């Protein structure tokens, strides 16, 4: 049996705020919150059993408070695909949630690079509407 991807950890200054942003982006919900340690985990409400499920699951995101700020382009980033609207509509929705446009040297590409409220880059890929 191989490992399965269940969680992505993201260092940040404001775990609660970033968790709220990504919950709105992905349709996730808060699954665990430790205010004392500054850690918030969010995941899909469709698979609340998460890591205990036998097959693939949407990965959880865990936000952990750290004292250092972001200083360079991410080496790892999230890509999202709108499933119920076109790419340009999704970009507008994400900008309204607090995302910002970013130029990381992508040039003319089919994806759009945005940053979350703490400056972490992510891409909005071409739509996969049914």
pTM: 0.86
Give the closest residue to 23 by CA, choosing from 51, 62, 57: 62
Predicted local confidence at residue 71, as pLDDT? 82
In tens, the pLDDT along 88-98 reads: 999 999 999 99
In tens, the pLDDT along 98-129 reads: 999 998 888 888 899 999 999 999 999 986 65
Alpha carbons 47 and 8: distance in angstroms, whole number:
16
Cα→Cα distances 28→22, 23, 61, 68, 127, Å:
7, 4, 9, 26, 19
In the predicted model, is pLDDT for residue 50 greater than 60?
no
Alpha carbons 15 and 38: distance in angstroms, whole number:
6
């Amino acid at each position: 049996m191989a490992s399965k991807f269940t969680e992505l950890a993201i260092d940040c200054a404001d775990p609660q705020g970033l968790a709220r942003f990504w919950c709105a982006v992905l349709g996730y919900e808060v699954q665990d919150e430790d205010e004392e340690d500054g850690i918030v985990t969010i995941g899909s409400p469709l698979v609340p059993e998460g890591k205990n499920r036998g097959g693939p699951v949407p990965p959880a995101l865990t936000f952990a408070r750290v004292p250092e700020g972001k200083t360079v382009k991410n080496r790892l980033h999230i890509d999202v695909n709108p499933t119920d609207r076109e790419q340009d509509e999704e970009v507008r929705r994400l900008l309204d949630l607090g995302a910002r446009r970013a130029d990381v040297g992508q040039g003319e590409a089919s994806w759009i690079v945005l940053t979350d409220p703490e400056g972490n880059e992510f891409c909005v890929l071409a739509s996969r509407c049914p």
